[in-house]
Every structure is written in structure tokens, then in C-alpha cells.
Amino acid sequence: MSDNASSMSPSITAMIRLDHMHVLSASHRYHASTPWWRKRAIVNNVCAALEIHAQLEEEIFYPALARALGDDETLAKSRPEHDEMRATIEKLRSMGPENAAYDGLFQQLIRNVVHHVADEETILLPDAERVLKHELHSLGAAMTRRRMELLGERPMEIALNNAGTFPLATALLGLSLVLALRYGLPGSRRALRAGRRT
């Protein structure tokens, strides 16, 4: 990617914050009274997002930060926290929403994520913005490329879980797409007919 394209990419710290926001907003849709199929979609959505996020941080963000900071206590405990999160995800995947422990285990995962996010957003991200300020956009571009590769490994699973987690937003997006295809995009029948009249 060219330097110009990299400078147009979101910074890696902005992307990490967006990942955090996605996971936390998805988790807020989970309630004990939520139907089982939606619980499963929310949990699968959150788990996939966390796995991809952790892999991106471990491959791109943490090495760059370690190079710039050297030994750092918060950075050193980040990978073990990811490992603990992965172990909880494995337990969730081995059971279903009908299991009495499912709700509590998901809430435990989210509590651990909130603690991890707090450390990253109050310590690691500000440190990165200070010591990696000239690399933030190129690291963001690298993260975007790698994210696309990881998402491409399971697109249908991710799309279905997003639809189950955010059904209203998915419906509105689908409706917008249909309307854009029907009425707004050049090449649609209506646009073609309008063009013939002029």
C-alpha cells in the first residue's frame, strides 16, 4: 500500500477502539430473557469479533508497541488475558444457550473483556499514540488488510451472526440496499427510464 493510501487509513488505535465498541454494544443486547437463537447469534458474534481482534493485536499492534516501549507490564499481561478469553470462548462453544451455565459464562467473558478494554484504552492506546504516532496509519492499513483476510475465512457465519445480533440494523441496511438498487443507482430501471425521457 502506498504511503498516501496508508495515511488515508484509520489509525490502528481508532480501529481497536471501534472493535471494543462493537463487542460491548453487541454484548448489551444479551439478556437472560433473550430467545435462545438470538443468544447464540450474539455469543457467536462477540466470540468471532474477539478472536479476530486478539489475533490482529497479537500479530500487528503488540509487536509494534513492544518494539517502541520495551518491557511494559500492561502489554506483558495482554496476551495471557487473550488466552484466558479464548479458553472461555471454547467453553461457550462446547455448550448451548439451553445450558444453565451459558448466561453466567458469557457474563464472565464480558467482565474479563471490560477489564482488558479498560487497560488498553487508558494505558496502551494512549502510549501507542505517543510512541507510534508516525506509524499509526500504516499500522491501521496493515490491520485492515489482515482483517479482510480473516473475515474472508468465514463470511457467511459472520454475516448471519451480525444479522441475529443487530436484526433491526440489518433489516434497515437490506431495505436501503433494495431501495438504492431500485430507485437510486445508475443503471436501475427507473434511472434508465428517466434518462430515456430526457
pLDDT of 188 strictly over 70: no
Mean pLDDT of the chain: 87
Q: Give me the mean pLDDT over the 116-121 stretch.
A: 96
Look at residue 1 in the predicted model and tell me its pLDDT: 47
More confident residue, 70 or 65: 65
Residue 186: pLDDT above 60? Answer: no
CA 41 to chain CA centroid, Å, is 15
Transcribe the chain into DSSP letters: --HHHHHHSPPHHHHHHHHHHHHHHHHTT--TTS-HHHHHHHHHHHHHHHHHHHHHIIIIIHHHHHHHH-S-HHHHHHHHHHHHHHHHHHHHHTS-TTSTTHHHHHHHHHHHHHHHHHHIIIIIHHHHHHHSTTTHHHHHHHHHHHHHHHHHTSHHHHHHHHHHHSHHHHHHHHHHHHHIIIIISTTSHHHHHHHHH-
Q: Compute CA distances 133 → 31, 33, 123, 128, 195, whole Å.
A: 40, 45, 15, 7, 50
pLDDT of residue 157: 79
Q: Using an 8 Å Cβ cutoff, are 55 and 153 in contact? A: no
pLDDT tens, position by position, 124-149: 999 999 999 999 999 999 999 999 99
CA distance 16 to 43: 20
**Residue 181: which pLDDT band, with cuts at 50, 70 and 90?**
confident
